[in-house]
A = this chain, B = another copy of it.
Amino acid sequence: MNAPPGTHVVILGGGFAGLYAAKALRSASVKVTVVDRRNHHLFQPMLYQVATAALSPGDIASPIRSILRGQPNVEVVLGEAQSVDLADRRVRVDSSSLSYDYLIVATGARHSYFGHEEWEMLAPGLKSIEDALEIRRRILLAFEGAERRPDPGQRKSLLTFVVVGGGPTGVEVAGALAEIRRYALRRDFRHIDSREASVLLLEGGPRLLSSYPESLSMAAMRALRRLGVEVRTGAFVDGITHNGVSVGGTHIPTKTVVWAAGNLASPLLRSLGAPLDHQGRVVVGEDCTVPGHPEVFVLGDAACFDHQEGGPLPGLSPVAIQMGRYAAKTIRRDLAGRARRPFHYRDKGQLAVIGRGRAVADIGRLHFSGFFAWLTWIFVHIFFLIGFRNRIIVLMEWAWSYFTFQHGARLITGEGDHRGLVTRRPT
């Protein structure tokens, strides 16, 4: 496919896929417009650390404008893409519209509640900074509430934290919760012992971290249990109310539920008229484009790419990064009149942290867990944290909390009543 000079590439979404595509188009003779409804790129793999009060939002997010400021061919638009008109090659962004020669759709995913959208208010997921602050709020308020309530039943339900979903996010949240309870909050209260709080991790499948080798699932389970997390596999949630979670007929009284169970890709994708998979992702071709539309790429969590062994690629940042770079490269090949090559994901492995100084790593043929896996995690994540400043500050925060067991960002902010435990959720 040949494109005229003055080619306009519109990128929807400033996450990993969109950002790396924009960066990789730096020296291409194209005009790039990045559209995002947030002004910041979020380093999502560390979002659970904001939810558990270890880091501040500013530590893991940077304005997209600043990241791309040195790239003269890029313009950043704060706005929400509403729909795509494939025939006209236009995207509606709020009340205006943008025409494109190439479109890169990298709008990510929200949570799926499997048809129970009413659970969202009761069990927030963890995708945005607002989500993380809301979860932080609820966790801290539950301890505050327990401190004030003499009734043992109420107290117990306030001190029970349920995490639904045993993927990496669920494992990381449960591990961090187990630790904050043991260390950071330990001496803060007078009427409760924060160590008595219980953390439950519920997974519907037979094991945690189902995308990892089984030995690492077992290692994660053992590590979580050592931290005092109650792990239940084969546990399907069939109801969530203000008072608790019901699992296979059993009622678990709790006031704090974190949802880490399923993804649903952005609703914008429906306007592409392409086949979607059960997670709402576009089933893309070998070159990550919409069938019949070589000018429209769908990347990252928005894409169902099923052309490699092992089923569709998982929703991981390395996948998104490689796809972003691939799309940019493909556009440059087009412009140079060279044939496209199919996308091939080079598996860089996966890592999940289980509390302080412990992780599991699945890197090629290497499967390992423990302190060394944790150091690997630190190294990889700090390395990829976008923006030099953030890296230093985050390292300092970590060093501080590692050596002192303290979590530095334990603020309860935002709307809502400090007395109520379920409040309106920022959107």
Chain A residues at the B interface, C-beta cutoff of 8 Å: 37-40, 56-59, 61, 63, 65-66, 69-70, 75-80, 94, 129-130, 133, 140-141, 144, 147-148, 187-190, 389-390, 392-393, 396-397, 400, 404, 406, 408-415, 418-419, 426-427
CA distance A37 to B404 in the complex (A): 27
Q: Which 8 A-B pairs have the closest CB atoms?
A: A65-B188, A56-B58, A58-B409, A56-B56, A78-B144, A39-B412, A69-B187, A415-B426
How many copies of the polypeptide does the oligomer hold? 2
B397, A57: Cβ atoms closer than 8 Å: no
Residues of B within 8 A of A38 (CB): 412, 418
How far in angstroms is the closest Cβ of chain B from A337?
30
A79, B188: Cβ atoms closer than 8 Å: no
Q: Which of B129, B144, B188 meets A66, CB within 8 Å?
A: B188
CA distance A59 to B406 in the complex (A): 14
How far in angstroms is the closest Cβ of chain B from A189?
7
B427, A148: Cβ atoms closer than 8 Å: no
Residues of B within 8 A of A396 (CB): 392-393, 396
CA distance A140 to B38 in the complex (A): 11
Q: Given A56-B59, A396-B393, A427-B415, are A69 and B408 neighbors across the interface (CB < 8 Å)?
A: no
CA distance A215 to B87 in the complex (A): 68
CA distance A411 to B129 in the complex (A): 10
A411, B144: Cβ atoms closer than 8 Å: no
Residues of B within 8 A of A411 (CB): 39-40, 57-58, 61, 63, 129
Residues of B within 8 A of A410 (CB): 39-40, 63, 66
CA distance A39 to B79 in the complex (A): 34
A129, B413: Cβ atoms closer than 8 Å: yes
Residues of B within 8 A of A148 (CB): 77-79
